[in-house]
Amino acid sequence: MARETEIKFKVPSLRVVRARLTGLGARFMCSMIQKDRYFDTPGRSLLSADCGLRLRTVRQVRCGVKQVDRRGEVTFKGPREKSHLKIRAELQTRVDDPQVLTGVFEACGLKLSLVLEKRRAIYRLGRCEIAMDTLPLLGSFVEIEGPDEAAVLSAARRLGLTIKPTADHYVALAMRELRRTGGRSLTF
């Protein structure tokens, strides 16, 4: 099973990080709008087990050296391992028809629990992928994903991200905000 190794920082501005990426010679890959639909059991057993089932669709905004695959993508994320980084099992595959898969999930008793939309710009810095995200009501984040902890932490240092990383994933942050505001989705 594949593993995801990443760290996330809430930042006041993406402009500073973008300038650092440019100065370090990072490659701009693409920018997009991602719409993530999270599914769970009626009793929220996936969320309570620190797992997630996400169906993602994307709309490309700007192309760099990489075209965005416009097919949907379904991802299962397992519980986080004990670490100061976010390390977890991750299974994902492309989906030709996200609407049909939504119907399959619902037929199996899963319910749509959250819709989360974000603007994302992706850069490549060494062996790491740097995602600069903007989410409604939540703000701006930098997510660094790489092959191992050493690569991820090295990229964070090179970018000058010395602030404390955000321990929560977007779902937890969004759920807290939606409880506070009484909403059901975070979309633009």
Q: Which two tokens stand for residue 28?
A: 């701009």
- Predicted confidence at residue 13, as pLDDT, reads 92
Most trustworthy range by pLDDT among 57-61, 82-86, 95-99: 95-99
Output the pTM of the full model. Answer: 0.89
Q: Kindly state the tokens that stand for 87.
A: 């390390």
pLDDT reading at 84 higher than 90: no
Is-contact 39 53, C-beta < 8 A?
yes
Of 11-20, 118-127, 149-158, 169-178, the range with the lowest mean pLDDT is: 169-178
Candidate from 2-16, 114-128, 144-158, 166-180 with smallest mean pLDDT: 166-180
- Report residue 1's pLDDT band, with 50, 70 and 90 as the boundaries: low
Q: How far apart are CA 151 and CA 147, in angstroms?
A: 7
Q: Is the pLDDT of residue 185 over 80?
A: no
Are 68 and 122 in contact, with CB atoms under 8 Å apart?
no
3-state helix vs strand vs coil in the chain, percent to 5: 25, 45, 30
Domain parsing of the chain, residue ranges: 3-186
* Architecture label for domain 3-186: Beta Barrel (2.40)
